[in-house]
Amino acid sequence: MDLHPHELKLLGTLKNFHKGADIAALSKASGLNPDSVRKAALWAAAKGLVKSEVTETKSYLLEEEGIRYLKLNTLPELIIFNEVLKKPADINYLKNLREFQIGMMWGQKKGLIFNWGSDNVRLAPKKEAEQKIAKDLEALDEVGRGNYNIDRAKLEEFLRRRFLKEKIEKTETLSITKKGLELADSNPDGGIGKLTPEIIKSGAWKKGVRPYDVSLPSAKLIAGKKHITSVWAEKIRKIFLDMGFSEASGPLVESSFWCFDALYQPQDHPSRELADTFYMKKPGGSKLPEPGIVKAVKNAHESGTEGSTGWMYKWSEDIAKKPVLRTHTTAVSARSLFGLTPPAKIFCIGRAFRNETVDYKHLPEFTQVEGIVVDENVTFRDLLGYLKEFYWRLGFEKIRFRPAYFPYTEMSVEPEVYFEEKGEWVELGGSGIFRPEVTKPLGVDVPVLAWGLSLERPIALMTGLNDIRNFYFKNDLKLLRNAKVNV
Amino acid sequence: MAVVTFDRKDFESLVGKKLKDSDYTETVPMIGVTTEELSSDSVSFEVFPNRPDMLSVEGFARALKAFMGDGKGIKYSVGKIHGTMRVDKSVENVRPYAVCAVVRNVKLTDSVLKSLMQFQEKVHETFGRRRERVAIGVHDMSKIEFPLKYAAYEPSKISFVPLDSKEKMNLSQILQKHGKGKEYGWVLENYKTYPVITDAKNDVLSFPPIINGELTRVTEKSKDLFIDVTGTSKHYIMKTLNMLCASLADRGAKLEAVKIDYTKSSETTPDASDQKIKVSLDYLNGLLDTDLKEDEVKMMLAKMGVLFANNVASVPFYRTDVMHQIDIVEDVAIAFGYQNFEPRIPKIPTMAQRNRTQEKSCVIKEIMVGLGMEETVSFVLTNDSKQFNMMAAPVEECATILNPKTEDYTACRKSLIPSLMNVLGDNKHNEYPQRIFEIGDCVELDKSETGASNVRKLAVALCHADADINEIKSVLETFMHSYGLGYRLKNSAHPSLMSGRCGEIIVDGRKVGIIGEINPAVLKNWGLDNPVAVLEMVVE
């Protein structure tokens, strides 16, 4: 018979407990943890080596109400009895007493008060009533001290009146069967379980080693492991690198100029509002880049680049100087575009910030993925081509495109991928061709294709971890240890 | 993004035909609008901010009607000048621009009134930037006597009965007491005088952008309307007036003009003439990779309600989103159908270049994982309490947030160690040992362009019953050896670390990090019972 080492250990330990023992005692005696004892017992019981017996023990505990009357050394029925005894009884006062209802009920039941509510009210003799109640209290006190050997009917009464509560405890007693005993005796040390240098050198292993049931479950190791978001970020990084994109980065604390103005987002645009964007107290202000580009961006906003009307408002340098926590990595793309010589393909994976209150769908921080393609010959079809290729490499086989709107792209496209498991199309990211009002001031005269998405969204879709707080907010090691990283 | 809800029957009668559910779920998204909710009585759409003209049921129906093939296009015209409004110099500094229109013979049924109100509300919220940029006032014409005057007054000098009120109030009282005054008073916060529109009898029509007068209230009985739109940008108020006029004209009303007299100039509004924009077919075909001829473009633009002839697009006066010929190209692409473009990958010869910091981070992660460390990823955002107080460290200068929404996130982290302590504190119920690391950006104030720079750091924390300086030193030693970096350690002191169990990591004579055992007082702050040994260093 193949036995797990824990089973052998359990049998060896149980041998010494003639009357059997509970899990705690066996854990202590064997050095196995209680869980292992429980598991080993389960396996051994299935093989008929160990017998498990569950016994229930009942006990009674005093409840608040019981304690209260023990302290008062009386019961409601006696309190009411004494009140009725007073002549003349004050009926209104009586009815307002906390104990009235209950005391009257039990008083009548126990034969202390007769004919209540009629003209012919009668009471038991005072002494008899007092003795009766004293006896009851004595019984209650006994139970409180752990002696349950009282009149069964009294016990029921106390339970019903919530003076006591019943507590049932289950204990599992394990004992060794005859078959188990034989096995334990025939195999006192369990045979050679583990090869040691000594056993290998001495040749003792030739007497045979204990067989091992490989189908039994094994303990998990705590392994060195990358974070699930890292794994996905690296996957996406590789996709971009494989497609010939170069990697860019930029500051987390960004000027409004690069985060918004250079992207042709008008200065009164709602996404620039305090409710959506983290503005910095420190640093207090950013420097603007060289005057040439500042002037070009200002003109684009106020009166448009060549062939454009612009947003037609007065652009303010002060607003552009306000530092923010970047709301998107498109700020990095804008910086990359400035002074760039085409052709170029650039990507960025980085943290972005939104002034949001935290819930399962929103975090104040997320990771954004963004790619741009800069070349004189690229067209709208190429944008769709890159999207299709990129999402295919990410694991989404079917994609479709919908018109969308972003202030800095035209055409703007919302890619939707087909999510097999749910059988539905889901929106995943945004994309478009940068407007001429964005690229011209940056000195780029050719089309720029751009797309971006949050890193968390595909992870949530692919892993089913819908509560995105799980990723950073919690860093629950159990969840991270179990996370699949073969993506 | 704004969600609008229309009465389905009214909507379909404006479109001119009965629509199937599939028209809503298949066709409508192809114009770039999502159908949010659909029932037999009503329909809700999510409208992108570039098409405020589609916030009205009439405008939406107009766009869909054209898109579904009724490409005749509607011509709008404006009749004679009905009257004059003088814009006084006093409004120049507070709310400089106003435009007006007179709309005759409006049949104000319940559904028209409702859609008019919804449109006003949505435009105010989005395009109107919560009434700061644009505010609309609609009035019953029969109560108004021309000429009108738009001027600014001291708040106590002028009073009238505002809408939904019974008593006369002056302008300050309205801001203090009236619901709308409280809601939109912020627009006038920094001004000493407030703008008001009055008529020939000196009756107050409107106190923009707050509230109209009760006198000119619009009811189902109103036949002729007077519309004022005021704001900070002439372009946007003009466009808003245009959208409103087009909607009412679609309902069969007649438009009449109002002459606006500024001190030095004058103009007549509304102006229903098209916006002309030159479109090069080469540019269009080049960008879309199509081979469209003029008449094909003409056909497609008709679907978008735009006329096209001789390389000039005539954009109707209610459209607000056309700034450049690229916007016309987009209209063509939408009419062509995004699904009809065949995706293609061009051959663009570029060589991928990896970012050095990112590349280093990847290498370090590999080594750390090999050492059995578990990676965690935390927020850059933190607060003084977590970053300094709970670490028993003095509060240092760091990048801070001006407008935090919660106490939790008020600053950017300078160190990764508090992030790791936070993770350990949150994971007390999970199995030990916990050997974790993080590699990520911290933020340091400096003299750079934005005033703060990212600093990439690595930190390791070991937490279990036997964690100590020896073990963390071994981690450092093995890591530095694999990474190929010479270093030395020097005994030092740090407020978060136990004295006598703490050192500086020195590379090339420069301090790059710290190593040591966390002070038990700090452990207590994070609710930890096990010892924690840490290291942190800059990765550059």
pLDDT of A287-316, one tens digit each? Answer: 999 999 999 999 999 999 889 999 988 999
Q: What is the mean pLDDT of residues B252-258?
A: 95
Q: What is the mean pLDDT of residues B73-79?
A: 86
Averaged confidence pLDDT in chain B = 94
pLDDT of B303-312, one tens digit each? Answer: 999 999 999 9
User: Tell me, what's the pLDDT at A187?
Assistant: 61
pLDDT of A372-396, one tens digit each? Answer: 999 999 999 999 999 999 999 999 9
Residue of A nearest to B343 (CA): A385
Per-residue b/e over B197-234, b at no fewer than 16 CB within 10 Å? bbbeeebbbbbbbbbbbbbbebeeebebbbbbbbbbbe
User: Tell me, what's the pLDDT at A204?
Assistant: 84
Q: Which of B200, B212, B207, B99 is closest to B152 using CA atoms? A: B207
pLDDT of B404-419, one tens digit each? Answer: 988 999 999 999 999 9
Q: Whats the size of chain A, residue-wise?
A: 487
Structural domains of chain B sorted by starting position, each given as residue range(s) with its CATH number in brackets: 2-67 (3.30.56.10), 78-269 (3.50.40.10), 275-340 (3.30.56.10), 356-538 (3.30.930.10)
Distance in angstroms between the alpha carbons of the first and the last residue of chain A: 41
What's the pLDDT band for B64 if we cut at 50, 70, 90? very high
Q: What is the mean pLDDT of residues B145-170?
A: 94
Question: CB burial class (10 A; 0-12, 13-18, 19+) of residue A383?
Answer: buried
The residue ranges of DSSP E strands in A16-72, in sequence order, are 21-22, 50-62
pLDDT above 90 covers a percentage of chain B that reads 89
Residues whose CB is less than 8 angstroms from the CB of residue A406 and which lie 6 or more positions away in sequence, other chains included:
A412, A430, A432
According to DSSP, residue B48 is labeled: P
Using a CB-CB distance cutoff of 8 angstroms, which residues of chain A are in contact with residue B346? 375, 377-378, 382, 385
Does the pLDDT value for residue A189 go beyond 60?
no
| Distance of alpha carbon A394 from alpha carbon A430, whole angstroms | 15
**Bond before A441 cis per omega within 30 degrees:** no
Q: Are A11 and A22 in contact (CB under 8 A)?
A: no
Nearest-Cα distance to chain B for A338, in Å, is 15
Strand partners, A119: none
Question: CB burial class (10 A; 0-12, 13-18, 19+) of residue A279?
Answer: middle
Does the pLDDT value for residue B496 go beyond 80?
yes
CB contact under 8 A, B288 and A384: no
Nearest-Cα distance to chain A for B177, in Å, is 26
Using a CB-CB distance cutoff of 8 angstroms, which residues of chain B are in contact with residue A227? 375-377
Q: Which of residues 337-356 of A touch B (CB under 8 A)?
A: 343-345, 351, 353, 355-356
Among A46-50, A332-336, B2-6, the range with the most confident prediction by mean pLDDT is: A332-336
- Whether residue A308 lies within 8 A of chain B, CB to CB, comes out as yes
According to DSSP, residue B162 is labeled: B
Q: Which of B23, B61, B111, B452 is closest to B250 using CA atoms? A: B61
The structure tokens listed for B414 are 């300078």
| Distance of alpha carbon B74 from alpha carbon B316, whole angstroms | 9
| Distance of alpha carbon B99 from alpha carbon A293, whole angstroms | 35
pLDDT of B337-358, one tens digit each? Answer: 999 999 998 889 899 999 999 9
- Alpha-carbon separation of residue A158 from A72, A75, A77, A104, A161 (angstroms): 16, 11, 14, 16, 5
| Distance of alpha carbon A327 from alpha carbon B537, whole angstroms | 28
Nearest-Cα distance to chain A for B51, in Å, is 9
Q: Nearest 5 degrees, angle CA B521-CA B523-CA B525?
A: 75
**A·B CB contacts under 8 A:** 283
Beta strands B2-7 and B211-212 are: unpaired
According to DSSP, residue B519 is labeled: P
Q: Are A480 and A229 in contact (CB under 8 A)?
A: no
User: Tell me, what's the pLDDT at A484?
Assistant: 87
Nearest-Cα distance to chain A for B472, in Å, is 15
The beta-carbon neighbor of B334 closest among A373, A403, A480 is A403
What's CA B508's distance to the chain center, in Å? 48
Q: Is CATH 1.10.10.10 correct for A5-60+169-207?
A: yes
Q: Which of residues 90-119 of A touch B (CB under 8 A)?
A: none
Using a CB-CB distance cutoff of 8 angstroms, which residues of chain B are in contact with residue A304? 323-324
CB contact under 8 A, A404 and B449: no
Does the pLDDT value for residue A473 go beyond 70?
no
CB contact under 8 A, B344 and A384: yes
CATH superfamily membership of A229-482: Bira Bifunctional Protein; Domain 2 (3.30.930.10)
The structure tokens listed for B376 are 């965690």
A-interface mutation test, from B123, B300, B323, most A Cβ less than 10 A away: B323
Q: Which of B523, B531, B490, B529 is closest to B507 using CA atoms? A: B490
ipTM of the complex: 0.91
Using a CB-CB distance cutoff of 8 angstroms, which residues of chain A are in contact with residue B377? 227, 229-230, 471-472, 475
Lowest mean pLDDT among A174-178, A462-466, B424-428: A462-466
Helix (H) or strand (E) holding B427: none
| Distance of alpha carbon B405 from alpha carbon B427, whole angstroms | 26
- Whether residue A375 lies within 8 A of chain B, CB to CB, comes out as yes
Lowest mean pLDDT among A195-209, B126-140, B270-284, B438-452: A195-209
The beta-carbon neighbor of A268 closest among B133, B334, B344 is B133
Q: Which of B19, B29, B49 is closest to B339 using CA atoms? A: B29
- Whether residue A194 lies within 8 A of chain B, CB to CB, comes out as no
Strand partners, A372: A346, A450
Q: Which of residues 413-432 of A touch B (CB under 8 A)?
A: 413
Lowest mean pLDDT among A52-56, A226-230, B188-192: A52-56
Q: Are B119 and B6 in contact (CB under 8 A)?
A: no
Using a CB-CB distance cutoff of 8 angstroms, which residues of chain A are in contact with residue B124? none
Nearest-Cα distance to chain A for B161, in Å, is 32
Using a CB-CB distance cutoff of 8 angstroms, which residues of chain A are in contact with residue B31? 403
- Alpha-carbon separation of residue B138 from B116, B120, B244 (angstroms): 9, 9, 10
Nearest-Cα distance to chain A for B438, in Å, is 9
Does the pLDDT value for residue A209 go beyond 80?
no
Please state the domain extents for chain A: 5-60+169-207, 64-162, 229-482
Residue of A nearest to B364 (CA): A226
CB contact under 8 A, A249 and B372: no
Q: Are B49 and B2 in contact (CB under 8 A)?
A: yes
| Distance of alpha carbon B115 from alpha carbon B57, whole angstroms | 7
| Distance of alpha carbon A290 from alpha carbon A268, whole angstroms | 24
Q: Which residue is associated with the tokens 């974790």?
A: B436
pLDDT of B13-40, one tens digit each? Answer: 999 989 999 999 888 988 888 899 999 9
Using a CB-CB distance cutoff of 8 angstroms, which residues of chain A are in contact with residue B331? none
Using a CB-CB distance cutoff of 8 angstroms, which residues of chain A are in contact with residue B353? 246-247
At residue B508, what is the residue type? D
pLDDT above 70 covers a percentage of chain B that reads 99
Residue of B nearest to A352 (CA): B380
According to DSSP, residue A279 is labeled: B
Averaged confidence pLDDT in chain A = 89
